[in-house]
Homo-oligomer: A and B are copies of this chain.
Amino acid sequence: LPADKPERSSIVDVANLAGVSPATVSKVMRGVPSVRDDNVQRVLAAVKALDYRVDPMAADMRRAKRRIIGAIVPELKSEFFGTMVTKLEEYAELAGFSLVVASSRGSEEREVMLAGRMFDWRVSGVVLAPVVSDKGPACAELARLGLTAVLVDRVFGNDLFDTVTSDPTTANHQIALRLHQFGHRHILLIALGEWAATMPQRIASFKAAMSALDADVRVDVIMTQSLTDPMRAAVSAYFDQTQPDAVYALFDQATLIALSEFRRRGWHCPNSVALVGFDDPAWMQVTWPTISTVVQPIDAIARRAVDLLLRRIAGDDGPTKPYREACTLALRGSIHGG
This protein's copies in its complex? 2
The answer to the question of A156 belonging to the interface, with a C-beta cut-off of 8 Å to chain B, is no
A281 CB, nearest partner CB in chain B, Å: 8
A272 CB, nearest partner CB in chain B, Å: 15
**For the complex, what is the distance from the CA of A232 to the CA of B285, rounded to whole Å?**
11
Within 8 A of B (CB), among A92-121: 98, 100-103, 105, 116-117, 119-121
The answer to the question of A282 belonging to the interface, with a C-beta cut-off of 8 Å to chain B, is yes
Within 8 A of B (CB), among A18-69: 53-58, 61, 63-67
Contact between B2 and A143, CB atoms less than 8 A apart: yes
Contact between B232 and A286, CB atoms less than 8 A apart: yes
Cβ-closest chain B residue relative to A3: B64
Contact between A64 and B8, CB atoms less than 8 A apart: yes
Within 8 A of B (CB), among A164-186: none
Given A75-B86, A232-B286, A288-B261, check contact A320 B57 (CB 8 Å).
no
The answer to the question of A256 belonging to the interface, with a C-beta cut-off of 8 Å to chain B, is yes
Cβ-closest chain B residue relative to A162: B1
**For the complex, what is the distance from the CA of A56 to the CA of B1, rounded to whole Å?**
14
The answer to the question of A287 belonging to the interface, with a C-beta cut-off of 8 Å to chain B, is yes
Chain A positions near chain B (C-beta within 8 angstroms): 1-6, 8, 53-58, 61, 63-67, 75-79, 81-83, 85-86, 89-90, 98, 100-103, 105, 116-117, 119-122, 124, 143, 145-146, 148, 160-161, 232, 252-253, 256-257, 259-261, 263-264, 281-283, 286-288, 312-315, 317, 320
